[in-house]
Structure 1
Amino acid sequence: MFGTLRTIWALMVVVGHIFWVGEFGRFAVFGFYILSGFLMTYVMQKNYGYSLNSKTKFAKNRFLRLFPSYWLACIITILLIALFGNSDNGKYAIMTVPDTVFSIITNLTLIFPHWMPNQIEPRLSPATWALTVELFFYAAIALGVSKTLYRTYVWVALSVLFIVATYALGLFWHARYFSIPAGSLPFSLGALIFFMVKENKTKLIPQVLINYPLYLFGAMLSIAIFVSITITKGLPIWAMEILFYCSLFFSFLLVLSLAMGKPFLPFVSKTIDKKLGDFSYPFYLLHYQAAMISSYLILGKITVFRGNTNLLSVLMTLAILILLSLITIKWVDSPIEKLRTKIKNQKS
C-alpha cells in the first residue's frame, strides 16, 4: 500500500537533485522518514519483538535490505569515474573514489559520523547522508524507543523540544533538516501513527482529513512546488520553514491514511504497488549515476541538467535510471529477498 508513494517520493528527490532545485526533494525526504518510523515500529511490534534474538534478526534484515544494493551503486560510481573522470560540478564534486581509511570505512558502512552527515565527503552516492539518519533511528526503534505509546509520546515531545532549541540557539535551518536529531520528529510521528491505528485513536481526527490520501499528497506536492518556484525569487527562509512543516503535517496525515487502509491510487493493485515500490531505493541510490551517463552523452560533460533541462535529458536520464534499477532489482534485491524472508521467519 506504500510502494507507489515511496517511488513517487524518490522521483521527487531525482527531480530536485538533477533537474530543478534541491528544495523540491527535501519535502519527500521527511515523508520517507515518517514512513520509515511507522514501518520499523510496525515490524518490530508485529514481526520481530524486542528480545536480543529478535533484534539481531531485525538488524540482519535491515543490513540485507540496504547494503548490497548500496554497494552495487558504489561500484557503478567507481566504474563511471574510471570511464568519464571526476567532475567539479555540484554534487559530482563529492563523488570521488575514497582514498583514506576513514573515507573508505564511511562509504562502506553508510555511517557518516557527523551530527549533520551531509558534511562528510566524499560520498559515492551523494544522497546517502540521509541513510545515516535512517540507520540511527532504525537502531533506536530496535532498542525500544517506540516500544510503547508512552515512550513514543516522550519521543515526539523531545523531538519538538529539539526543534524549539535550534530556534532559541539561532541555528540555521539546515540544522532542522540535515542533522540526525532533525530526523527525530518525522520518525517519531511515524511511530505514533502505528499506535494511533493500533489503539483506534484515529477517531480523534476528523475523517475528512484522512479519507482521501491522494488529496493529501496533492497538498504536500503543491507546497513543494510552490516553495521550489519561489525560493529562487526571494521567498524568506522563515516562510519556507513554515511551509515545510505544513508539508510535514500533510505527509503525516497521508501515511496515517494509508496505514488505515485507505487506497492511494484505487486502480493500482497490491501486486503492482509492490513492484513499483521496488524502484524506490534504486532510484534514490542511482539517480546521480544515471545523470552522469546521460549528461555525458548529451552535453559531453558530467553535470546536472539544471538550466539545460529538456525532454531529451529527462527521458534519457529516466531510461538509464530505470535500466540501472532493473539490474539492481533483478540481480541483487530479488535474490536477497528470499534470504530476508527466511531470516524473518526463523523462530526466536
Structure 2
Amino acid sequence: MFGSLRFLLAYLVILSHLVGTEYVAHFGFYAVRGFFVISGLMMTAALNEVYGFDGVRFWTNRALRLLPPYYFVCVLTLIAITIAPSEAAEYLKFWHGLPDAGELLINLAVLPLQFPYGSIRLVPPFWSVAIEIDMYLLLYLVVSRQMGWALIALVAGLSFQLACVYDAMNWTLTYFTAPSAVFPFAVGAVLYFLRQHGRWVATPLAAGFAFAAWIANMLAGGTVFPASYIFGWGYLFDTICFGVVVSYLSALPSRQFGPLVERIDRAFGEWSYFAFLVHWLAGLLVAGILLNGETRGWTLLLAVTPVVLAASAAFAMLNRKFLEPLRNRVRRSHGRSRPATSVAIPIG
C-alpha cells in the first residue's frame, strides 16, 4: 500500500500550498519528511535487490524516472507564464517573469534548486527532489551497503536534528538543506536492514497506532501545540511514527488485499509524483478560468483536485507508454540483478 500512502503525502503537499493558511503549512513539511523515509527504504531495496550497486543502471533509471516529466512541466509552465504573465506573477512569487539564461540553467540542472540561487522556479517544490538526489548519492556510496553505515547515518542525522531543536536554528537550515534529509533517509535504510535480517518489523497494531499518532501530531500542531512544537519535537516525532508505518507496509506480502486493490494502489503510486509536479500549474489554470483569480483557499483546493487527478492519470499513461519500457530495459541490462526477496517492496 505504498502507492496510496505516497499519494496521500503528495496531496498533503498540495493542500499546504493551495490552501495557503499558516495552520496547514506544516502538513507539507511533514509529508515531505514521509516521502524521505519511504525513499530511504525503497532506494536501499532497489540498490541491493535490483541494481546490485551498478551505478550506471541505477542513475540512468533515476534520471528516466525524474527528469522527463519535470522538463515537460517546465515547458508547460513557461508557456503559461508567457501567455498570462501578470496572472502568473500575482498567483506565485516564483513566476514573476520569464527566466533569464542563468535562471533557466538553474532550473534545468535541478541540483542548484536546493540553494537560494535565482528567483524564478518553474516547479517550485522541485528543490526537494534535488535533495533526494543528494541522498541517493549518499545511499549509493555508503548508507545502503550495510546496516552499520545506515546506523551511523541515522545517528548523524538525528544529531543534526537535535541540534536544530535545542539551538532553535533557522527553519531554512532545519528543513531545506541536505543534512536535514539524512535522518529520514537513514530511518528508511535501517528499516530495510532490520526487516532483511529478521530483527524487527512493525505489527499491524503498532502501525495503526503510529499512523493515528502521525495524523494527530500533524493536526495538533498549531492548535493544541504551539509553533515551536511544530518545528521542533513534533517534527522529529512525525518521522518516528511514520517509520513504524513504513516498516509494517514494507513487510506486507504481495496481493495482500486482492488484485483490484493492488491495481488501485499502484495507480495512486504512479500519480503521486505527477500530482506533485503539476499542482501549482493546475492551480493557476483553475484560478484564472473558474475562480476569478482566487489564488488560495479551500475552494481552490477542491476545484483543483479533479484537474490534478486527470493530469496525473494522463502523465501516468504517457509514462507507461514511453518511459517505463526504457526503465524496464535498464533494470534488466548489464548482467543479472540480485534475487529479490519474497517481501513486496515497490521498487521506484
Does residue 331 (structure 1) correspond to residue 334 (structure 2)? The answer is no
How many Å apart are 1:63 and its aligned residue?
A: 0.2
Q: Distance in 2 between matches of 1:96 and 1:239?
A: 31
Q: Distance in 1 between matches of 2:205 and 2:200?
A: 11
CA separation of 1:211/1:176 partners in 2, compared to 1, >3 Å: closer, same or farther?
same
Does residue 237 (structure 1) correspond to residue 225 (structure 2)? The answer is no
CA separation of 1:291/1:228 partners in 2, compared to 1, >3 Å: closer, same or farther?
farther
Name 2:39's counterpart in structure 1.
36
CA separation of 1:77/1:143 partners in 2, compared to 1, >3 Å: closer, same or farther?
same
Q: For 1:178-193, what aligned pairs fall within 5 Å after superposition?
A: 178-193=176-191
Name 1:216's counterpart in structure 2.
210
8 Å CA contact 1:33–1:187 kept in 2: the answer is yes
Unmatched 5+ stretches in structure 2: 336-348
8 Å CA contact 1:97–1:124 kept in 2: the answer is no
Aligned residue-pair number: 330
How many Å apart are 1:292 and its aligned residue?
A: 0.5
Give the aligned residue type for 1:260.
Answer: A
Q: For 1:52-63, what aligned pairs fall within 5 Å after superposition?
A: 54-63=54-63
Q: Distance in 1 between matches of 2:169 and 2:227?
A: 16
Name 1:17's counterpart in structure 2.
17
Unmatched 5+ stretches in structure 1: none
Aligned match for 2:136, one of 135, 138, 147 = 138
> Aligned Cα RMSD in Å?
2.5
Name 1:93's counterpart in structure 2.
93
Name 1:248's counterpart in structure 2.
239
Q: TM-score, normalised by structure 2?
A: 0.86
Cα offsets for 1:133-175 (capped at 9, x unmatched): 1010111112232201111111111112222343565522332
Name 2:67's counterpart in structure 1.
67
CA separation of 1:15/1:30 partners in 2, compared to 1, >3 Å: closer, same or farther?
same
Name 1:300's counterpart in structure 2.
292
CA separation of 1:69/1:230 partners in 2, compared to 1, >3 Å: closer, same or farther?
farther
8 Å CA contact 1:68–1:332 kept in 2: the answer is no
Does residue 200 (structure 1) correspond to residue 203 (structure 2)? The answer is no
Does residue 287 (structure 1) correspond to residue 279 (structure 2)? The answer is yes
Q: What is the SS of the residue equivalent to 2:232?
A: helix
CA separation of 1:326/1:249 partners in 2, compared to 1, >3 Å: closer, same or farther?
same
Cα offsets for 1:294-347 (capped at 9, x unmatched): 111233326222xxx33xx33421121122212211223542011100110013
CA separation of 1:12/1:263 partners in 2, compared to 1, >3 Å: closer, same or farther?
farther
Name 1:127's counterpart in structure 2.
125
Q: Distance in 1 between matches of 2:36 and 2:245?
A: 13
Give the aligned residue type for 1:299.
Answer: L
Name 1:158's counterpart in structure 2.
156
Q: What is the SS of the residue equivalent to 1:278?
A: helix
Q: Distance in 2 between matches of 1:304 and 1:239?
A: 22
Q: Distance in 1 between matches of 2:295 and 2:272?
A: 23
Cα offsets for 1:59-114 (capped at 9, x unmatched): 00000000011111111211221222244446x11135653333112211211265
Q: Distance in 1 between matches of 2:211 and 2:255?
A: 9
Q: Distance in 2 between matches of 1:104 and 1:30?
A: 28
Q: Distance in 2 between matches of 1:96 and 1:324?
A: 24
CA separation of 1:245/1:169 partners in 2, compared to 1, >3 Å: closer, same or farther?
closer
8 Å CA contact 2:214–2:241 kept in 1: the answer is yes
Q: TM-score, normalised by structure 1?
A: 0.86
Aligned match for 2:301, one of 294, 302, 314 = 314
Give the aligned residue type for 1:304.
Answer: R
CA separation of 1:241/1:319 partners in 2, compared to 1, >3 Å: closer, same or farther?
same
How many Å apart are 1:217 and its aligned residue?
A: 2.5
Q: Distance in 1 between matches of 2:237 and 2:319?
A: 37
CA separation of 1:98/1:59 partners in 2, compared to 1, >3 Å: closer, same or farther?
farther
